Amino acid sequence: MTRNNYDEKEIIKQLREEQTRAGAFSSVVEIYSEQIYWHIRRMVFSHEDTNDLVQETFIKAWTNIGKFRGESQISTWLYRIAINETLTFLSRNQQVKVPIDTAEGAVADTIESDAYFNGDRADALFQEAISRLPAKQRLAFNMKYFEDMKYEEMSKLLDTSVGALKASYHIAVKKIEEFLKENN
């Protein structure tokens, strides 16, 4: 199944039937893995960590498929799982402290040494600025800036108010602008 012939209602129906569940879930993975990958990647920056989190997202979705009631779209449900997995990963890894003298440029070095990075210095600075945002501001920024999500949709995914998201996005933009001015 491809995006062109994707029928959400039919997939949900197949996910509920034990005989068709595995095939339907394979279609879901095929259709949404790239979106989920890039959503997580903008938060995590490392290809390997992103792949692990994508895998964790789909494992969690598969093990909880019986709890999916179909009240939201499959993509919304997957995004919620991916967001929770990513925030858990970020909070767990935030406890690993980097000495202050090596922290500057560490994210840029990680991004630039990644085999999947093909950008220039400006892009690396932009990514570093984003990486310095607190997780929730980074999430709001990424969803709005890169994925062009509406605040209402973000609000449903993140279970927070539209006003809080607008504030987070605005603050994130200001922080990124300040970082770029200081480092340009």
Which tens digits make up the pLDDT trace of 72-82? Answer: 899 999 999 99
Q: Residue type for 79, please?
A: Y
Q: Torsions phi, psi of 158, nearest 5?
A: -95, -5
Distance CA 106, CA 56 (A): 26
pLDDT under 50: residue ranges of the chain: 95-107, 111, 117
What is the tens place of the pLDDT at every residue in 92-135? 886 443 433 334 444 455 545 555 545 577 888 888 899 899 98
pLDDT at 119: 58
Q: CB burial class (10 A; 0-12, 13-18, 19+) of residue 86?
A: buried
pLDDT at 4: 61
Return the residue matching tokens 């993509």.
75
Q: Are 47 and 10 in contact (CB under 8 A)?
A: no
State both tokens at 180. 């770029």
Q: Torsions phi, psi of 108, nearest 5?
A: -60, -40
pLDDT at 110: 52
pLDDT at 48: 94
Domains and CATH numbers, the chain: 1-96 (1.10.1740.10), 122-184 (1.10.10.10)
Length of the chain: 184
